Chain A
């Protein structure tokens, strides 16, 4: 199987490999995939709560070269985006950028799932922090 130059580049020089403190309220962690399926991605975002902008993103991936490249690319794209912009990233954007063949589309789907899971985790933590268990509980003045 021939890999595109971009996949090889991300595989050989992965961007943003590592971990952020997962207990930090401003960090959202997404863990998707399963070992028996042959791919697991952990993607983390650190969001500035005042601006809603993603300051940092890190990943670790167990998977093929295309899975590593998809998650590496995702972290590159996430930095500097707002949470809402991040949610607009589609797996098809990753497929196009990395020139993934049809058998590797699931790697891009997994990366999109990881982004969504990381942001959902961040939002959940923010809700818990602000105690915003939702307006019904709020007393009227």
Chain B
């Protein structure tokens, strides 16, 4: 076993060597511009891009013409939401999203609010899922778009997208989903879920950084988007700019591998995740899982270790790469807004660790992480005034704290 251990696969993934092999010829040998229509260099590049388009479409049950390549999922989310808001502004100006979305969705919606759109941010229930009744109630005759993620990047919770898709369809409202964390990890089909727009990213799928895709439904309904990057009219006019051919080839190869290995990999990872969860619970008291365990990505675990602060925990396991929802680990100095939205209290957000397992995680690594974490949590609890107070029978929620 090699140290350090990477267990932060929701942040990014290494590129699979098979993906690298597929990409390499497109840097030096087949370097053509797919928009060059009159020589073989252009034709080769175009063929490679179309193969990749088919591979991405196959992963999500789409038609090949419905895939628009972008620089990543942030751009795909921007294009879907801003593009739809602009295109359908005659029809309405209301968008429905949710408080636990990725910032690429939330901040895009906030930008549109400044430009006059009205946005409803649905709360989530304790398990991290939205309430379908609250979604129904939020819909107005001005609602043009519902954007709800397929799986959350922090807590791995799967939203009821098939039900959301059905509601949107019945009301004639477009449904966009940020499928970055879900696609290739759990079955995700745009038709079964009645999704009209879906964002994908290569680097969460063992592909390269800097490339992603937006699925844009072409039939029933035919979705139109106002382009956000203007230029040569690439990608059906929705996203101009010379195509990132090696990146796109990498995304295609990564999508094909993810599809081929999805079932076995999901089973392997969920067994390993459950092993991690069980061993931590066997060793430690007062640890709390954040979000639904039933509706969850197979490779995600998000746990709060009560009375221990997340950054100090990460410091103690410095040969293991994981993330924390603690304020001290975020640029904003605020604890995770996703965990706060679950309503469990900010103190538990400060104490949370996100584990993201992946293609190269082993049982041996899981066991190492459990041992290491157990000893650090015990050590820090011995040092924690909160743990001491609780053991003395003090109710922390009734204390008058001197906030600063």
Contact with A along B288-326 (1 / 0, CB 8 A): 000000000000000000011101100110000000001
CB–CB A64/B404 < 8 A:
no
CB–CB A34/B402 < 8 A:
yes
CB–CB B328/A42 < 8 A:
no
Q: Which residues on B sit within 8 Å (CB–CB) of A110?
A: 404
Assuming the contacts A34-B403, A35-B386, A40-B386, asked whether A103 and B333 have C-beta atoms less than 8 A apart, the reply is yes
- The residue among B350, B382, B396 with the most chain A CB atoms within 10 A of its own CB is B350
Q: Which residues on A sit within 8 Å (CB–CB) of B383?
A: 14, 17, 60-61, 68
Cα A54 to Cα B71 in complex, Å, equals: 62
- Which A-chain residue is minimally distant from B397 (CB atoms)? A35
Contact of A35 among B315, B316, B328, B396 (CB under 8 A): B396
- Which B-chain residue is minimally distant from A41 (CB atoms)? B385
Contact of B402 among A11, A14, A33 (CB under 8 A): A33
CB–CB B312/A64 < 8 A:
yes
CB–CB B401/A38 < 8 A:
no
Interface size on A, residues (CB 8 A): 32
Assuming the contacts A33-B404, A60-B388, A64-B312, asked whether A38 and B327 have C-beta atoms less than 8 A apart, the reply is yes
Q: Which residues on B sit within 8 Å (CB–CB) of A11?
A: 312, 315-316
Tell me how far the C-beta of A125 lies from the nearest C-beta in chain B, rounded to whole angstroms: 19
Contact of A39 among B309, B345, B382 (CB under 8 A): B309
CB–CB B312/A37 < 8 A:
no
Task: Decide if B230 is an interface residue (CB 8 Å cutoff).
Answer: no
Interface size class of B (residues with CB under 8 A): 20 to 34
Contact of B385 among A38, A40, A117 (CB under 8 A): A40
Cα A40 to Cα B386 in complex, Å, equals: 8
Cα A103 to Cα B328 in complex, Å, equals: 9
Task: Decide if B189 is an interface residue (CB 8 Å cutoff).
Answer: no
CB–CB B309/A38 < 8 A:
yes
Q: Which residues on A sit within 8 Å (CB–CB) of B316?
A: 11
Contact with A along B113-155 (1 / 0, CB 8 A): 0000000000000000000000000000000000000000000
CB–CB B388/A38 < 8 A:
no
Tell me how far the C-beta of B307 lies from the nearest C-beta in chain A, rounded to whole angstroms: 6
Contact with B along A30-70 (1 / 0, CB 8 A): 01111111111110000000000000000011111101100
Tell me how far the C-beta of A57 lies from the nearest C-beta in chain B, rounded to whole angstroms: 14
Within B334-348, the residues touching A (CB, 8 Å) are 335, 345-347
CB–CB A62/B384 < 8 A:
yes
CB–CB B384/A35 < 8 A:
no
Question: Helix, strand, loop or mixed for chain A's interface?
Answer: mixed
Task: Decide if A121 is an interface residue (CB 8 Å cutoff).
Answer: no
Task: Decide if A81 is an interface residue (CB 8 Å cutoff).
Answer: no
Tell me how far the C-beta of B11 lies from the nearest C-beta in chain A, rounded to whole angstroms: 15
Task: Decide if A6 is an interface residue (CB 8 Å cutoff).
Answer: no
Q: Which residues on B sit within 8 Å (CB–CB) of A34?
A: 401-404
Tell me how far the C-beta of A74 lies from the nearest C-beta in chain B, rounded to whole angstroms: 14
Tell me how far the C-beta of A109 lies from the nearest C-beta in chain B, rounded to whole angstroms: 7
CB–CB B404/A109 < 8 A:
yes
Contact of A19 among B308, B347, B388, B404 (CB under 8 A): B388
CB–CB B350/A38 < 8 A:
yes
Q: Which residues on B sit within 8 Å (CB–CB) of A77?
A: none
Contact with A along B384-402 (1 / 0, CB 8 A): 1111100000001000011
CB–CB A65/B388 < 8 A:
no
Q: Which residues on B sit within 8 Å (CB–CB) of A37?
A: 327, 346, 403-404
Q: Which residues on B sit within 8 Å (CB–CB) of A32?
A: 402, 404
Within B253-310, the residues touching A (CB, 8 Å) are 307-309
Q: Which residues on A sit within 8 Å (CB–CB) of B333?
A: 103
Tell me how far the C-beta of B260 lies from the nearest C-beta in chain A, rounded to whole angstroms: 39
CB–CB B311/A62 < 8 A:
no
Tell me how far the C-beta of A83 lies from the nearest C-beta in chain B, rounded to whole angstroms: 21
Within A87-141, the residues touching B (CB, 8 Å) are 103, 106, 109-110, 113, 117
Can you list the 5 inter-chain pairs with the closest CB atoms, starting with the nearest? A34-B401, A35-B347, A36-B346, A42-B385, A64-B311
Chain B residues with a Cβ under 8 A of chain A: 307-309, 311-312, 315-316, 326-328, 333, 335, 345-347, 350, 382-388, 396, 401-404
A35-B346, A38-B335, A64-B309 known; 4 new pairs, CB 8 Å cut-off, are: A33-B402, A65-B312, A68-B383, A117-B402
Chain A residues with a Cβ under 8 A of chain B: 3, 8, 11, 14, 17, 19, 31-42, 60-65, 67-68, 103, 106, 109-110, 113, 117
Q: List 25 A-B contacts (CB under 8 A).
A: A3-B315, A11-B315, A17-B383, A19-B388, A34-B402, A34-B404, A35-B345, A35-B346, A35-B396, A36-B346, A36-B350, A36-B403, A38-B309, A38-B335, A38-B350, A41-B385, A42-B385, A60-B383, A62-B384, A62-B386, A63-B309, A64-B328, A65-B312, A109-B404, A110-B404
